[in-house]
Amino acid sequence: MNQRTCLSVILAAGEGTRMKSAMPKVLHAIAGLPMVAHVVKAAEAAGTTGLALVIGHGADEMRKAAQKFAPKAETFVQEKRLGTAHAVLAAREAISKGYDDILVMFGDTPLIDAQALAAARQKLAEGAAVAVIGFRPPSPTGYGRLIEKDGHLVAIREEKDCSEEEKKIGFCNAGMMAVAGKHALRLLDKVGNDNAKGEFYLTDIVEIAGAEGLDVVATEASFENALGINNRAELAEAEAIWQARRRREAMLSGVTLIAPETVYFSHDTEIGADTIVEPNVWFGLGVKISTGATIHAFSHMTGATIAENCEVGPFARLRPGADLRKKAKVGNFCEVKQSTVEEGAKVNHLTYIGDARVGAGANIGAGTITCNYDGYSKFFTDIGEGAFVGSNSSLVAPVSIGKGGYIASGSVITESVPDDALAFGRARQKTIPGKGKELRERFASAAAARKKAAAE
């Protein structure tokens, strides 16, 4: 089957009015990726060699988005919504190219997996003309039933048309199917619209193919695979299922999640074995973590790279461009953005490091900030290997601290510091005996006067 060509036709023209959104429904994200892109990924994993997106509402927005998640896909516009078969035929030009297999999927079923699609394709390789993907929901009420006889699918019956006996069938239509390319256009063109809604239904090809003596079968996918998204509540349900799958996958690959239900991954999160993740951690897009890292509770990461044996958090924020090298530490209430923290360097507490390099073995004291932005442009701070920056220091970029440099606590550093030098950037302390008592008495008297005036 691997040598068979396959076109995946993904129907994504629905308006999604129940989402209550100006954005096309299928662009709403799960794990940071549009739901239709999840369908594309499943199709690609199932061996598709061509992609056709049938779009409608928000066509320009869809095309722009597709350039990111499916740059090679052809897009076709369904101008009028006249049923699922009509939607598939919007991609007639692509279907007519002579693919062996045609997969028909929906852009709002993001949990479909490659195995379910591959199983349907396998039936085509074995000689079936049509393979319908079915599932067994907790309750079949409202779903079309798959009517089978002697191992063959003879009809898809909508519930309102089912007999009492047929209503007892628990095997239901998931909507997705595989059709042999050599039969696809002929079968689709035979679909009529002699029904109450005057629409062309894809499901009709089951009986059309059967009437021609072609083999029609059903394959079974899990209920989760077939879950369609129509509103934001269902979107959240799908997110929860996706996250549960990903957490289990991470744990089985050697990652410790202490409270897995509180950890959230993005679709592209990479996390190595022997990493420990404490509760309430968020992995945004573009996070890569090597082996043996420890991610403490309540940390938030996006676009960050974390090398082996690093330590992050608790309550740390790593923004895009944060690059932590081996055994680096970014501690509690620290933020790192567009900066490299080199091997063994420590950024322990209450610190902002932006547009900077923190050299290997350097230590950044609590409350230190790199002043990297003047309101118009960003500037770079370079902190050398083994440097020590005392607490509550402000490093005003562009500035460099040399290898082994030492910055006294509370300093404002505006000029570069040579290797091994000590720098002070603060006013000299002056102590006036008795002045504290005098100030307290003055302030207390003024407060009492204000209170008396307010009472009068």
Q: Which residues are part of the catalytic machinery?
A: 349
Element spanning 245, H or E: helix 232-252
Spatial distance between the Cα atoms of 219 and 215, rounded to a whole number of angstroms? 13
What single DSSP character describes residue 428? Answer: P
Which helix H or strand E contains 65, and what residues bound it? Answer: helix 59-69
Q: What is the DSSP string of 4-58?
A: S-EEEEEEE----GGG--SS-GGGSEETTEEHHHHHHHHHHHTT-SEEEEEEBTB
The DSSP symbol for 159 reads G
Total number of residues shown for the chain? 456
Give the C-alpha separation, 81 to 37, whole Å: 22
Residues 6+ apart with CB under 8 A from 258: 276, 277, 278, 279
Check if the beta carbon of residue 77 is closer than 8 Å to that of residue 9. no
